[in-house]
């Protein structure tokens, strides 16, 4: 039995589809199972990663876990997983843990703390470290749908946006093939792009121009204050500043795991065009 955590997320949803296509037994954990929209026959279980009391029932009979965890109770989760006989954990982490100063960055440290606990546990752990999700562009949807400019403090910041389907397929590959067990894989999209270039490709996908307004970091923080805590906003701004005008190096890990090149941002934009128009 494979346990998928974070069952309402896009990666988990695509992974579930892949596992069902291969008739692999799967259970989906969520802090609120009633909100899950699962295919008929897929069992759900209450799993609140902030509440260790929910761990034993969720892990009963489980052999592998796809885990997107917070650091708060990760040691409790690892201990309970070992007691339950879990033989493999696939952790969705972040490539931010590889950056200099990761220990002092709140976004990176949260992932790094989880990695450290799992790697010290007796359970073989495979780590997937995606970089920037293409889905981060979804934060522009409200402005685009209303016809307003997209506010960008660093339009020239470079990332390698990664389609959630590629992350799901990479997770499936490491769950399905024992050769990958215990590996550590840095996932990226196929090309470095600036935020401005992503906006242009999104405009092409929806068939109309999208304006960009360059704002100061302080102005952007005020705009997002309702849903991004200040310390996380500062971490994001620091990262964007560090890659402003500095193209990165895409990895080939998606292709190595899945057998096909990583999907382009243009493909993601086409898949999600309706999110920016309806």
Q: pLDDT tens digits, residue range 127-175? A: 999 999 999 999 999 999 999 999 999 999 999 999 999 999 999 999 9
Please state, in angstroms and rounded to a whole number, the distance separating the CA atoms of residues 159 and 276.
Answer: 21
Residues 193 and 210 in one domain: yes
Whether residue 154 lies inside any domain: the answer is yes
Whether residue 183 lies inside any domain: the answer is no
Whether residue 179 lies inside any domain: the answer is no
Domain that holds residue 143: 135-162+189-249+261-278
Per the structure block, which two tokens stand in for 268? 């993601």
Q: Is residue 278's pLDDT more than 80?
A: no
Per the structure block, which two tokens stand in for 117? 């606990």
Per the structure block, which two tokens stand in for 108? 């990176």
Torsion 233-239-243-249 (CA) sign: negative
Note if the pTM is more than 0.85.
Answer: yes
| Total domains present in the chain | 2
Taking a C-beta distance cutoff of 8 angstroms, is the pair 111, 97 a contact? yes
Whether residue 124 lies inside any domain: the answer is yes
Taking a C-beta distance cutoff of 8 angstroms, is the pair 28, 37 a contact? no
Whether residue 170 lies inside any domain: the answer is no
pLDDT at 246: 95
User: Which of 113, 130, 147 is the last residue before a domain boundary?
Assistant: 130
Find the range with the poorest average confidence among 74-78, 102-106, 183-187.
Answer: 102-106
Residues 117 and 26 in one domain: yes
HEC readout, the chain? CEEECCCCCHHHHHHHHHHHHCCCCEEEEECCHHHCCCCCCCCEEECCCCCHHHHHHHHCCCCEEEECCCCCCHHHHHHHHHHHCCCEEEEECCHHHHCCCHHHCHHHHHHHHHHHHHHHCCCCEEEEEECCEHHHHHHHHHHHHHCCCEEECCCCEEECCECHHHHHHHHHHHHHCHHHCCCEEEECCCCCEEHHHHHHHHHHHHCCCCCEEECCHHHHHHHHCCCCCHHHHHHHHHHHHHCECCCCCCCCHHHHHHCCCCCCHHHHHHHCHHHHCC
Q: What's the CATH code of the domain at 60? A: 3.40.50.720
Q: What distances in angstroms separate CA 159 from CA 4, 131, 247, 270, one per listed residue?
A: 28, 8, 7, 19
Residues 122 and 141 in one domain: no
pLDDT at 127: 97
Whether residue 168 lies inside any domain: the answer is no
Interval 6-32: pLDDT, tens: 878 899 999 999 999 999 999 999 989
Residues 23 and 117 in one domain: yes
Taking a C-beta distance cutoff of 8 angstroms, is the pair 175, 2 a contact? yes
Write down the mean pLDDT value for the chain: 94
Residues 148 and 101 in one domain: no
Residues 83 and 207 in one domain: no
Q: How many Cα neighbours within 13 Å face the side chain of 15?
A: 31
Parallel, antiparallel or unpaired: strands 88-92 and 44-46: unpaired
Q: What is the mean pLDDT of residues 204-231?
A: 94
Give, to the nearest 10 degrees, the angle between helix 164-176 and helix 10-21: 40
Burial of 100 (0-12, 13-18, 19+ CB in 10 A): exposed
Residues 115 and 158 in one domain: no
Residues 87 and 147 in one domain: no
Whether residue 172 lies inside any domain: the answer is no
pLDDT at 106: 78
Please state, in angstroms and rounded to a whole number, the distance separating the CA atoms of residues 60 and 57.
Answer: 5
pLDDT at 230: 87
Residues 147 and 107 in one domain: no
Interval 78-128: pLDDT, tens: 999 999 999 999 999 999 899 888 888 878 888 999 999 999 999 999 999
Residues 231 and 278 in one domain: yes
Q: Is residue 258's pLDDT more than 90?
A: yes
Residues 124 and 241 in one domain: no
Residues 97 and 147 in one domain: no
The rounded percent of the chain whose pLDDT value lies above 70 is: 100
Which residues, including other chains, have CB under 8 Å from residue 21's CB and lie 6 or more apart? none
Whether residue 151 lies inside any domain: the answer is yes
pLDDT at 101: 84
Please state, in angstroms and rounded to a whole number, the distance separating the CA atoms of residues 171 and 230.
Answer: 31
pLDDT at 142: 93
């Amino acid at each position: 039995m494979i346990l998928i955590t974070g069952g309402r997320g896009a990666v988990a949803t695509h992974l579930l589809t892949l596992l069902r296509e291969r008739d692999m037994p799967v259970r989906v954990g969520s802090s609120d199972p009633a909100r899950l929209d699962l295919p008929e026959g897929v069992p759900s279980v209450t799993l609140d990663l902030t509440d260790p009391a929910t761990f034993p029932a969720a892990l009963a009979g489980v052999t592998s876990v796809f885990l997107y965890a917070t650091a708060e109770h990760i040691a409790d989760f690892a201990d309970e997983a070992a007691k339950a006989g879990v033989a493999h954990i696939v952790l969705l982490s972040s490539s931010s843990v590889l950056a200099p100063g990761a220990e002092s960055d709140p976004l990176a440290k949260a992932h790094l703390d989880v990695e450290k606990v799992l790697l010290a546990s007796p359970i073989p752990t495979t780590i997937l470290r995606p970089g920037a999700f293409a889905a981060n562009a979804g934060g522009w949807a409200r402005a685009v749908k209303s016809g307003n400019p997209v506010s960008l403090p660093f339009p020239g910041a470079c990332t390698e946006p990664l389609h959630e389907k590629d992350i799901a397929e990479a997770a499936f590959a490491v769950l399905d093939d024992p050769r990958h067990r215990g590996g550590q894989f840095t996932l990226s999209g196929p090309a470095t792009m600036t935020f401005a270039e992503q906006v242009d490709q999104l405009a092409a996908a929806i068939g109309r121009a999208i304006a960009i307004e360059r704002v100061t970091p302080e102005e952007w923080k005020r705009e997002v204050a309702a849903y991004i805590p200040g310390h996380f906003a500062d971490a994001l701004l620091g990262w964007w500043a560090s890659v402003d005008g500095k193209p990165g190096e895409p990895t080939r890990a998606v292709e190595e795991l899945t057998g096909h090149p990583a999907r382009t941002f243009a493909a993601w934009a086409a898949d999600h065009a309706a999110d920016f128009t309806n």
